[in-house]
Structure 1
Amino acid sequence: MAFTSSLTSHFLSLPNKNPSLTPFQSQPFFFPTLHPKPLLSSPTSISTVASASSSKNPSSNNNPKQSRQDEVVEVEVEEELPWIQEKALDLVEFTGSVTQAIPGPRVGPTSLPWILAVPLGYAGLTFVIAFVKTVRKFSSPKAQRRKLVGKNALLCKSVDDLLQRGRDEVKVDDLKGIENKVLKCQYAVRGEIVTLAQNLQKDLLANPDAHSFDEIIYCNIGNPQSLGQQPITFFREVLALCDYPALLDKSETQGLFSADSIERAWQIVDQIPGRATGAYSHSQDYFDAT
């Protein structure tokens, strides 16, 4: 560090040509006070010091109220999570640690190993297929009919309970209760068996592999020919001749039906009053109620 000093003007001035008799008086020396300055490397340090000083000593122009508003106090509040959510987070964390610990190649940029992704994908695909099959099973026409039959069985059971009580013990409220259970009522002349056969025929037309059989044969005593059924066996030939006795009087019948079927049909028709074997004879009146 270099020291500099300056002398007063008494020593630097020119000597007096006319000296006086005044004795010589010494003048004191004055050395300036040295103040060391901080070494600043770059303007960045200057701005840093200025910002620090300004943060420590706010300007006098800002009022105290504004300075109080600028102060922000951060308080950490711990929220209590539900027990189930905590267990779920623990399970996710445990699963992630286990997944990372499994060696082997990963699926893309994720941490899921292929040795774990393949069985998980197979299980997910199996679940989706099983779910779709279950939905189709319960929404199929066959399932709807089963549900309808179950409702009809409950309705018939309720009616049977009322009939067992007797006419005198049945009240109006009981009849209204049964009426409220019936949403739809349809009278069927052909009976429940023929209706079920028609539904099975629709299933076979839509899906030939829906049942273990591939053909529906209508042989009811009402009128199988109206449903397109041709007589193919002895019993069906007899039923057809009895259902439509006018065939027995035609000569063409001898070539269409066997002789034993015609003979058996004559025996049955002769014993029926009026030779009428329609569905209205002793009809039980099937009700399709839901």
Structure 2
Amino acid sequence: MIRARFTRPFLARLLVVFSAALLAVSALAAPAPAAPASVTGPTGEQVTVSTTTVSPGDAFQLDYFFGNTSDSAQSVLVSGSFAPADAVTFITGTGTSNTTLVSGNPPVVQLSPAARSKAEATVRFRVSPDFTGSQIVLTLSEGSPAVPFGTLTLTTPQADVSTSTTLTGSLLTGTLGVDTAATGNGPAAATGVTLTTRLPAQTTSVTGLPAGCSYAPGTQQVTCTTATLPNGTTTHFAYTANLSALTVGLPLTITTTRTASAPSDPVASNDTSTDTCTVVTGLIVLC
């Protein structure tokens, strides 16, 4: 039998190679950050946005650059407009001594480099914390009167959450088994997901509430929350509603609604679900 013997220097080199391979795989698996984007105006000025993906409350910046390659001084006026107009607020702006920022959202930026020099400015903004749209479009213009020359689009992550409600009847116990569920349909993971379920008026109590759920007898509502709901996953909340004396033939309908989640949910049609059972006798409920 042949036994392989490895020297310490060889093992050290092997460990370095293995570690480098792991780092390379990790880099490939990690999601790439949103890249900046730029547009160039008719006179050669360039406007770059620091990121193309933002969330409500995020800050981002626009960088303005104009390199004058001629033998005489030049000046260019750059203005713009956000749509929706109230999606973004101005934070601050700075620039080289040959730039002028005039108040606005975004401000009008005048870049005036001398011969064979450059002018630069940076303007910072914040996305409104209440913004619920899917994108913000900045249209950039040059001159006065302003002539549009390009757009920059910022997208916001969205997470669709759908609900389901499933009831289970009972024989002789006068109870309803309730199973409500939230499903993450992406594309982003949803956080702070809250489901509110309205129980029948005949509900006297609720038992078996799972963690994250609470019952309000005054409104006959059960509220359930989950901190995170990744794309493609479903979280269930199952419990039992105890009922008072029932009227034969009475339909018992339960409705569940997604009442909170972040980021914004682009599909409202699947936010609510219902299920109905029928009272056969005073103690028998069929679903």
TM range (shorter): under 0.3
As a proportion of its length, which structure holds more helix? 1
Which of these two proteins has the greater Rg computed from alpha carbons? 1
As a proportion of its length, which structure holds more strand? 2
TM-score under structure 1 normalisation?
0.24
